[in-house]
Amino acid sequence: MKITVVSSKRISVFVLAVLLFFSATVALKKTGAYSVFYGYALKKLPVYSVRTTEKKLAISFDCAWGVDYTDSLLTIMAEEDVKCTFFAVQFWVEKYPEYVVKIFDAGHEIGTHSKTHPHMSRLDKNAIVSELTSSKEAIEKIIGKTVELFRPPFGDYDDLLIDTAKELGLFTIQWSVDSLDWKDLSAKEIETRVIKNVKNGSIVLFHNQGLHTAEALPNIIKSLKNAGYSFVTIGELIYKNGYEILPNGEQIKV
């Protein structure tokens, strides 16, 4: 009988590899990348995009820090007959209630972007409930309509957040196309990024305070219209029942 002797060096390498694997797994579990990496969703996901055969997409704006370009954005969308979705933080809502009214009266949709713009995966359930309930009610008090959509600040979420938002009647919404307008890219760079990456059912992320967003938006809208796309609000784009969310965040009808 042959006896195989395994060197301590090989054992050490094996142990190190196992430790690295589990460390990587733990790290991935803390992000949405875990489900994509393994091909199935162990982590609950928000809606990143929607699977549809129709050439339609949704434009969204996050509102947290100011209103310098908001009138320009509203003018552009009125001229192009485009309706979109704004996600507003409560302190922005309270500071600029007149803009909440302007946005809503122009036919756009308004969702909550939290109360204080925190990293919500770091909060316990009571704190999450407070963030969502307070911000939701602040918007509803102004527009007189139930808020159904929520976008996590920083795109930061976990299972507890997704579940709690659902319990409160909120669909958690991410995005599939990031304009990166918050990086102060040029208008041309923003246009290129968005037009190149859009497909049926895309949700595009902009910010109402993006430095060159208003400059980029007309060409983006015209180019996508010429390509056959129509624009809808996120509430019109998503499925509200009878759906699943794939590991890449794509919502599908079942």
Active site residues: 62, 207
Paired tokens of 169: 């009647």
Who's near 218: CB < 8 A, 6+ residues apart?
76, 80
Buried/exposed code over 107-118 (b: 16+ C-beta within 10 A; e: otherwise): ebbbbbbbbebb
CB distance 214 to 69 below 8 Å: yes
Residue 143 amino acid letter: I
Using alpha carbons only, give the angle 110, 115, 120 rounded to the nearest 5 degrees: 105
